[in-house]
């Protein structure tokens, strides 16, 4: 299935070279803004903005989940991906297809209209991703807030630290472990590929020249191979996209169908397919595929743990916009 609208590509493929700041995230609180925006419910405002966009476009789920991943991958969860300007993270090739910036900005404007300079853009990203995960069909989960916004954003760092869809499972698992995320967290975070899409360039080698063999990836089912070759013709540079979950009616739902598909050789990205094959992850995939309740239950805690990576609790809260740095005292 090809799509014209650019949406999401690879989601959680690794947390590279980030620091899990235990001493800092200890300062976060559940309901942090209840004491600081006493006249308004900050989390409810974010939810209302996300819900409006979700009602208009179900792709909002994948967009906001991916936005959190791509922010936290580089310098931790500090909203550095939102900053605009020459050479910022937003301009890096892996981030050119990231969406959801407008939703976060809309929420920031709404919040600063009623509680100016208090709610950080970094927290808005985390809250919006939580709301999107829930609206997509997963169970609700609470998140700590109190993050501050970063002031540094470099495209070169995003290009270096955002991993490729072909990252080997052992390498990805080891990287996750360095940052407090275990193998199950890794599998469930990649399970977010049950929503969203990926461009041809992320998997075209699997169709025609897998690992420079001149052949297709033998782990891919014949049916999927045939379908994807229509979407991504040989020797072409295509902007076409394919749903990461090819099940009609399930493309925007946070369910376990993704796990069922990869067990049948129907994973779009190489790392997705390897989840169902590698001995470190295949049993987790099998259990998630067999029990419909596991993924909707487990993805929330995994997303919450991701949101604690590289947290900054000392610094600024941007004022009026998430696009520019500005100190607030």
pLDDT tier at 327 (50, 70, 90 boundaries)?
Answer: low
Residue 253 Cα distances to 103, 126, 196, 247, angstroms: 20, 19, 9, 10
Local confidence band at 163 (pLDDT 50, 70, 90 cut-offs): confident
Give the model's pLDDT for residue 85.
94
Looking at the structure, tell me whether residues 39 and 139 fall in a common domain: yes
| Active-site entry in 70, 179, 199, 278 | 70
How confident is the model over 102-151, as pLDDT tens digits? Answer: 999 999 999 999 999 999 999 999 999 999 999 999 999 999 999 999 99
Indicate if the pLDDT at residue 23 is higher than 70. Answer: no
Helix or strand run (H / E) with residue 55: helix 42-56
What token pair was written down for 73? 């991958």
Domain hosting residue 248, numbered range:
169-302
Domain termination site, one of 162, 177, 201: 162
Q: Which residues are annotated as a binding site?
A: 71, 74, 76, 78, 80, 89, 163, 193-194, 245, 255
Q: Same domain for 29 and 133?
A: yes
Sequence ranges of the binding site for substrate: 163
Could you say which DSSP state residue 164 is in?
-
* DSSP assignments along 41-102, one per residue: -HHHHHHHHHHHHHHH-TTHHHHHHHHHHHHHHTTSSSSGGG--STT-GGGSGGGTT---HH
Rounded Cα distance, 74 and 7, in Å: 20
Q: Does 313 fall in a domain? A: no
Residue 318 inside a domain? The answer is no
CA 116 – CA 37 distance, rounded (Å): 9
Angle among Cα 296, 300, 303 to the nearest 5 degrees reads: 130
Last residue of a domain, one of 103, 134, 162: 162
Give domain status of residue 36, yes or no. yes
Lowest mean pLDDT among 12-26, 224-238, 284-298: 12-26
Given 118, 140, 162, which residue is the final one in a domain? 162
Query: What's 267's domain CATH number?
Result: 1.10.420.10
Question: Which domain CATH number covers 145?
Answer: 1.10.520.10
* Residue 10 domain-assigned (yes or no): no
Annotated binding site for Ca(2+): 71, 74, 76, 78, 80, 89, 194, 245, 255
Task: Tell me whether residue 70 is one of the annotated catalytic residues.
Answer: yes
Q: Tokens 């407090």: give the residue.
A: 180
DSSP letter at 316 equals B
Task: Indicate whether 327 belongs to any domain.
Answer: no
Task: Give the confidence band of 210 by pLDDT, cuts at 50, 70, 90.
Answer: very high
Residue 201 in any domain: the answer is yes
In-domain check, residue 4: no
Q: Work out how many domains the chain is built from and give that number.
A: 2
Query: Both tokens of residue 142?
Result: 């609470």
């Amino acid at each position: 299935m090809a799509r014209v609208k650019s949406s999401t590509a690879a989601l959680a493929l690794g947390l590279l070279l980030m620091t899990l700041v235990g001493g800092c995230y200890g300062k976060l609180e559940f309901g942090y803004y209840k004491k600081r925006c006493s006249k308004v419910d900050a989390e409810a405002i974010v939810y209302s903005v996300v819900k409006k966009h979700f009602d208009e476009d179900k792709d909002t789920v994948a967009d906001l989940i991916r936005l959190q991943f791509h922010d936290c991958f580089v310098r931790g969860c500090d909203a550095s991906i939102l900053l605009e300007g020459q050479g910022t993270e937003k301009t890096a090739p892996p981030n050119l297809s990231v969406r959801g910036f407008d939703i976060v900005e809309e929420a920031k404007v709404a919040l600063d209209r009623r509680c100016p300079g208090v709610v950080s853009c970094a927290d808005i990203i985390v809250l919006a991703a939580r709301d999107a995960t829930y609206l997509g069909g997963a169970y609700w989960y609470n998140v700590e807030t109190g993050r501050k916004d970063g002031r540094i954003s470099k495209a070169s760092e995003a290009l270096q630290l955002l991993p490729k869809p072909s990252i080997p499972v052992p390498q990805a698992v080891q990287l996750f472990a360095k940052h407090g995320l275990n193998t199950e967290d890794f599998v469930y975070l990649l399970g977010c590929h049950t929503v969203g899409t990926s461009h041809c360039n992320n998997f075209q080698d699997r169709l025609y020249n897998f690992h420079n063999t001149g052949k297709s990836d033998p782990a891919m089912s014949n049916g999927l191979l045939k379908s994807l070759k229509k979407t991504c013709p040989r020797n072409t540079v295509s902007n076409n996209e394919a749903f990461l979950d090819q099940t009609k009616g399930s493309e925007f739902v946070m369910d376990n169908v993704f796990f069922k598909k990869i067990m049948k050789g129907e994973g779009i990205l190489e790392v997705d397919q390897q989840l169902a094959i590698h001995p470190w992850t295949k049993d987790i995939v099998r259990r998630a595929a067999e029990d419909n309740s596991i993924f909707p239950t487990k993805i929330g805690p995994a997303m919450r743990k991701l949101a604690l990576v590289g947290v900054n609790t000392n610094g600024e809260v941007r004022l009026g916009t998430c696009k520019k740095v500005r100190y607030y005292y």
